[in-house]
Amino acid sequence: MEPLRIGVVGAGAIGQYDAEEAVKSGSAKIVGVFDVNHPVARNLARVFSARVSPTYEELLDRQEIEAVLLCVPHYLHKTMAIQAADRGKHILVEKPMATTLEDANDIIATCRKRRVLLTVNFSLRYLARNRKAKALIEQGAVGDITGVQIIAHVFRERGYWMGGRSNSPDDWRASREKSGAGLLFMNVCHVIDYVYFLTGLKAARIYSEYATLGSPAEVEDIASVTIRFDNGAIGTISASTIMRGPDQIEERIWGSRGTLVLCPDGLSFYSTRPIDGKRPGQMHQIPKFRGVSCTAEWVRRFVLAVREGKAPDVAAREGWENVAFISTANLSLEKMRPLEVPLFPNHD
């Protein structure tokens, strides 16, 4: 398969990583780089013998570039994705697709009009642990899902909000206007995405409480979200970036026949059915999974979709539904009441 010729836009923390993984996928070549921070653009370009563009427009004008990999702050996703689509470039955009549903709609409409493919980096879907969890659910280990609990407590030092972990420091993460949301867009969006993917459920109604209690930021650093899923199941998210001590990260999905527990070390399950030849009625642990590079797999699958003219795995709908969840949670806090989560509209 002909490698996809990519222009990387944004050579900060994730731009460097994504570019390396894209090349590792064996399906892509980095041929161009643009960043308003010229030294980081030059450094990244050097690694791949790629050409640095002086402006985004110049990068988009380059015929040989087939796709852009957008690794820029959230508030730029909309404009830069639309500019790329208008020039006929396929788009790999970092999560979240956009900061508002209106922006996500505009991106999707332009991509459809220009017939370019779009994918959002929800690559944790490709984690071997998550693939196994999905298979267990499909085999009936959990039965009809009745409950979902997402716990995501970590600690982020004050400097994190000022870009202290990036090679290209900037305080966009702390700004509501620039980031759109705090820890929900930064971290928890991945978990929301793969819980949708594993269970096939979608949030129908949401009530949220957020606060900023320990960070120099306008966005939330602690959040609690109550979810009614479309099958009637109840879910909760308890998340923060201000919990001192060891991280607490776990997702639990349970139903009429069993329970699945995902944590950074692996997964465990309990089922009233014999699953995978395992005895029913007791907890089984699957502690180790072979490391898979999720980002490389995300790129590889996208290139396959481009070359074969198929829809990408993580496409417009998945990106949109994630923004729908988080923007509804934002609005629920603002209005101090539960809100229905909008359904993916017809963009034709």
What does the binding site for ligand NAD look like in residue numbers (CB under 6 A)? Answer: 9-15, 34-37, 40, 56, 71-74, 76, 94-95, 121, 163, 166, 168, 170
CA dihedral 129, 131, 133, 139 (to 10 degrees): -150
**Quick one: 95 or 153, whose CB is closer to ligand NAD?**
95
Least distance between ligand NAD and beta carbon 74 (Å): 5
Are the beta carbons of 204 and 339 closer than 8 angstroms? no
Residue with tokens 């109550």: 226
Are the beta carbons of 263 and 283 closer than 8 angstroms? no
In the bound state, the residue with its beta carbon closest to ligand NAD is 12
Residue with tokens 């590079």: 293
Least distance between ligand NAD and beta carbon 91 (Å): 13
Least distance between ligand NAD and beta carbon 187 (Å): 8
Least distance between ligand NAD and beta carbon 44 (Å): 9
Angle at 148 between CA 144 and CA 153, to 5 degrees: 165
**Quick one: 169 or 200, whose CB is closer to ligand NAD?**
169
Query: How many whole angstroms separate alpha carbon 57 and alpha carbon 53?
Result: 9
**Quick one: 17 or 334, whose CB is closer to ligand NAD?**
17
**Quick one: 141 or 303, whose CB is closer to ligand NAD?**
303
The total number of residues shown for the chain amounts to 348
**Quick one: 94 or 318, whose CB is closer to ligand NAD?**
94
Least distance between ligand NAD and beta carbon 189 (Å): 8
**Quick one: 137 or 217, whose CB is closer to ligand NAD?**
217
Are the beta carbons of 239 and 246 closer than 8 angstroms? no
Angle at 227 between CA 99 and CA 105, to 5 degrees: 30
Are the beta carbons of 219 and 179 closer than 8 angstroms? yes
Q: What burial class does residue 121 get, using C-beta atoms within 10 Å of its C-beta: 0-12 exposed, 13-18 middle, 19+ buried?
A: buried
Least distance between ligand NAD and beta carbon 97 (Å): 10
Least distance between ligand NAD and beta carbon 265 (Å): 19
Least distance between ligand NAD and beta carbon 33 (Å): 10
Are the beta carbons of 217 and 161 closer than 8 angstroms? yes
**Quick one: 22 or 137, whose CB is closer to ligand NAD?**
22
Other beta carbons within 10 angstroms of residue 204's beta carbon come to 15
Residue from 176, 143, 134, 95 nearest 272 by CA: 143
Other beta carbons within 10 angstroms of residue 81's beta carbon come to 30
**Quick one: 45 or 142, whose CB is closer to ligand NAD?**
45
